[in-house]
Amino acid sequence: MTLDSPADLRQCEPEQLQQVCDETRQFLIDTVAKIGGHLAAGLGTVELTTALHYVFNTPNDRIVWDIGHQAYPHKILTGRRDQLHTIRQAEGLSGFLKRSESEYDTFGAGHSSTSISAALGMAVAAAQQELERDVVAVIGDGALTAGMAFEALNNAGDMDANILVILNDNDMSISPNVGALKNYLTRLMTGPTVTSVRKGTKKALEAVPPVRDYARRWEEHIKGMVLPSTFFEEMGFYYAGPIDGHDIETLVKTLQNLKEIDGPRFLHIVTKKGKGFEPAEGAPITYHGVAPFDPTTGVIGKKVKVRTYTDVFSDWLCDMAAQDDRLVGITPAMREGSGLVRFSEEYPKRYFDVAIAEQHALTFAAGMACDGLKPVVAIYSTFLQRAYDQLIHDVSVQDLDVMLAIDRAGLVGADGATHAGVFDYSFLRCIPNTVIYAPSDEAECRNMLYSAYQYKGLTAVRYPRGAGTGATEQTSMTEIELGKGQIIRQGAQVAILSFGTLLATAREVADTLNATLINMRFVKPIDAELICQLAQDHSFFVTLEENVIAGGAGSAVNEFLAHKEITTPCLNLGLPDQYVEHASQEQQLAECGLDAPGIVASISNSSHFSSTDQPLKKALI
């Protein structure tokens, strides 16, 4: 069946929708099998996506998906089927929703729990402009654990907004869901009232297939009537469900009924992540984001295992925990991604997954630090942005002993702009009582994690996604002197001050230019003594960082030079004042001029050079 748009889909007869679902699911499996990408979440939303576009007049009606991992079927059904093989690649489709990509992508997001707020804003805008428009927010049970989702629910119920919220309950986010809300939803689905209705009906009507089939459909609607008042009804929503999110007929009829009701409505559907592909159903975490695989067997292609910075952190955390029983590990729902699996198994009583609640994670850590524990918060750079006030108000102002292990710092490749950790130097550097470590390789990362842990106060160790240079780590750990850089190469005239993991590239540049190379190691405090020393016998500084230039490590050097009235010119190289689109990390760095040829070109074209810099000019040529 060939469908090029939701308008084509709406021409189908209801009995054809299951075929649409089956073909969409198979196309998704076949495509991701070749290129890799997000799979399990999308397999779980095939029927929901089909039903939504069938019932609602998209794109006039708004469907707001939370994050976008589950929106591959949405892309397939909204005219991007033939482009799906380009997803998450340079010049290809985004792995998330993106307003500039399609009119059907009503709201872009790479972080969770934004859909209800955005949909509420759209519903209010429609009302203000007297537009006939339905607005639907789709949110998972994992995303519903975030405070922002409840803020939006509270607001929507109170203002009687014309909005439909669909809870896609699959008991998963990326890691298994945790928390009281997850337990409540499980109890709701397995409670004696629902269970007795289901079992009694099936037993009584087992011998009458036509009536049994009718009763099965009736059961999904009646459960909402026999259940006690739910939390969502108390918040002002008309509640329907829970219903089977893979029953396309029930989904369509329920959505059609809810479409006729005004005000805030809440539909609870139950789905299975990885639905329709047995390997993904059995291992939804593995198939959340998966490498290319055999679509028949599910066997994932073999990849050479490389040791990543996340692995370095994972091993350090367990080694440190063995030495200090004050250590506790905290993650906001990113156990696998942040490297806490081993720690959670070896130290379960000292491991805390707080769900998708970054703000709570920081204040929770602050409370622990108040009473003698040493919390290590493992968090992606891009997710730390969501807890900025807590970082300042609850940790820094009180000068509490909290350590941040910041993963996915810098450019992140296929996940693109929403997941790039390119602002942390800038937003951390301005916070008092903060020490920022910038390891250049795996061995230094282990020692810096150890050093940060020894420091009493707020510390941040910032490291990138993926592997480094392969530097061999020592079992023993060495404390690095606070705020001291390291001379890597002695050269002439040009001094390259490298912050973080661009050091290997900087070494290549320094060899080309016969420049002095410094591994700065710290963004805060910077090595003031070393900079003053370098200024005496170098005519030009170059700072290098995988962070935005604005307010970053280079800015720290500029500020110091100005404060000391040192007139040595300084060229700041880093990420531009724009969002870097998805591509491989190598492609992104080259695009930003942060590969070796790009850095050499930036230095050679700098206006800081005068015509009298003959030795340097010769080196650049």
Q: CA 419 to CA 595: how far, in whole Å?
A: 21
Q: Catalytic one among 98, 386, 462, 465?
A: 386
Please report, for residues 249, 336, 583, the alpha-carbon distance to residue 96 in angstroms, rounded to integers and kept in the order given. Answer: 28, 20, 13
Q: CA 238 to CA 267: how far, in whole Å?
A: 8
> How many Cα neighbours within 13 Å face the side chain of 618?
5
Q: CA 300 to CA 303: how far, in whole Å?
A: 9
Q: Which helix (H) or strand (E) holds 310?
A: helix 309-323
Length of the chain: 621
Task: Copy the structure tokens of residue 204.
Answer: 């009584």
Helix (H, G, I), strand (E, B) or coil at 292: coil
- What's the one-letter identity of residue 527? D
- Our CA dihedral for 271, 344, 407, 337, rounded to 10 degrees, sits at -30
Q: Catalytic one among 265, 273, 350, 465?
A: 273
Active site annotation includes 524 = no
Among the listed residues 247, 255, 188, 257, the one whose alpha carbon sits nearest the alpha carbon of residue 223: 188
Q: Name the DSSP letter for residue 482.
A: T
- What's the one-letter identity of residue 455? Y
Q: Which helix (H) or strand (E) holds 503?
A: helix 503-513
Q: What's the sign of the alpha-carbon dihedral 499, 308, 414, 107? A: negative
Active site annotation includes 489 = no
Active site annotation includes 345 = no
- What's the one-letter identity of residue 581? E
Q: Which helix (H) or strand (E) holds 599?
A: helix 596-604
Residue 235: CB atoms within 10 A of its CB come to 17
- Our CA dihedral for 122, 124, 129, 134, rounded to 10 degrees, sits at 60
Q: Are 440 and 410 a contacting pair, CB within 8 Å?
A: no
Pairing of strands 289-290, 265-270: unpaired
Q: CA 611 to CA 605: how far, in whole Å?
A: 12
Q: Are 280 and 272 a contacting pair, CB within 8 Å?
A: no
Q: Are 237 and 160 a contacting pair, CB within 8 Å?
A: no
Q: Catalytic one among 47, 219, 336, 358?
A: 358
Q: What is the 3-state secondary structure (H, E, C) of 199-255?
A: HHHHHHHCCCHHHHHHHHHHHHHHHHHHCCCCHHHHCCCEEEEEEECCCHHHHHHHH
User: Looking at the annotation, which residues are catalytic?
Assistant: 273, 358, 386
